[in-house]
Amino acid sequence: MTDQGTIWLTQEAYDKLRAELDDLKGPKRQEIIEKIAAARDEGDLKENSGYHAAKDDQGKQEARIRQLEDMLRRAEVGETPPDDGVVEPGMVVTVDFGGGDEEKFLLGARENLSDGDTLDVYSPESAMGAAINGKSKGDKVTYTAPNGKELSVTIVDAEPYKA
């Protein structure tokens, strides 16, 4: 996720990401430094699996820190949208691709989902997300999919996401 645009987050989601970032940059970073130092003290680094595992963990952690910093920098924190049937970030949207082939998803960022929620997430910047943003229940929208195919969807429902 690099400078793609604004990410809509609830205050709760923003606070959760900020807490994760603070933890990764503080106690978790210190933990990894200590693991690397302890593994380094064991001797030959070429054959030291503990050292390599700790360095690998450090790389993953630093990548997550960069990702969180980028998301928080681009975040627009807002309230849950009103329950007025208008599609906007933070809404759970149900669309019909035709013939009863429906799909339900959150328009927004995955970080807004509660832990354990398996709802699909579409970005407002995605082809379909951009096409339906601002539309209302009952509207039929046509957009160009990334593969170049023209698709039409009818908005069946749009309601605020509730954690």
Beta bridge partners of 8: 76
Decide: pTM greater than 0.75. Answer: no
Tokens standing for 24? 């990764």
Q: Give the separation between CA 145 and CA 160, rounded to whole angstroms.
A: 25
Which spans in the chain are helix H? 11-23, 29-40, 49-74, 127-132
CATH number (1.10.10.10, 2.160.20.10, 3.20.20.450, 3.10.50.30) of 91-160 reads: 3.10.50.30
pLDDT at 56: 93
What are the extents of the domains in the chain?
7-78, 91-160
- Among 145, 148, 151, 143, smallest CA distance to 98 is for 151
Question: How far separated are the first and last CA of the chain, in Å rounded?
Answer: 24
**pLDDT level of residue 163 (50, 70, 90 thresholds):** low
Return the CATH number of the domain spanning residue range 7-78.
Answer: 1.10.287.180
**pLDDT level of residue 127 (50, 70, 90 thresholds):** very high
pLDDT at 154: 95
